[in-house]
Amino acid sequence: MRHLIDTWEQATADEDKLQRVRDIIDGQELLLFFQSKGNIYGAPEESRIVFAKMKHPDEEVSDEWIEDASFSAMNLTRALNGERSENIFSVKDMDDIAVISPDVVEDRLLSKAKKTKNVKALNPKKHGEDGANKHKLRDRS
């Protein structure tokens, strides 16, 4: 019976983690996803446009504009820990940026969420830890 309960708790925890990851991705109106220096980022439409112009400039975009241009992106890896962190990227960062699809973002964030130990929302207490699910037993003698 204990095994069945543990299995159910693990399945519920995994579903909670998946929902948390999807909320992070979907709740921010992010359209561009990329990985840079071990972190996963998401950027809104305005940042996506600037990134595209920096990556593939047309005749109307000057070299000076590219040197001065920057865009912001939300650090989704930190968002798993409940931190709101936005980073600014410029032309100096372009070589470190690898664009990834939303499906890959979900998989990688879910993998990180499963490994994260210090996130309360993503790691519910297991049976018997720190008072979770503990019941006091009465002495019946």
> What is residue 39's predicted lDDT score, i.e. its pLDDT?
93
pLDDT tens digits, one per residue of 95-115: 999 999 988 988 888 887 777
Count the alpha carbons within 13 Å of 137 in the hemisphere toward its beta carbon: 3
pLDDT tens digits, one per residue of 44-99: 999 999 999 999 988 888 999 999 999 999 999 888 778 888 999 999 999 999 99
What is the DSSP annotation of 50-103?
HHHHHHS--TTS-HHHHHH-EEEEEEHHHHTTT---EEEEEGGGGGG-EE--HH
> What is residue 10's predicted lDDT score, i.e. its pLDDT?
59
- Confidence tier at 11 by pLDDT (50, 70, 90): low
At residue 138, does pLDDT exceed 60? no
Nearest CA-CA partner of 26 in 72, 71, 87, 74:
74
The more confidently predicted of residues 135 and 7 is 7
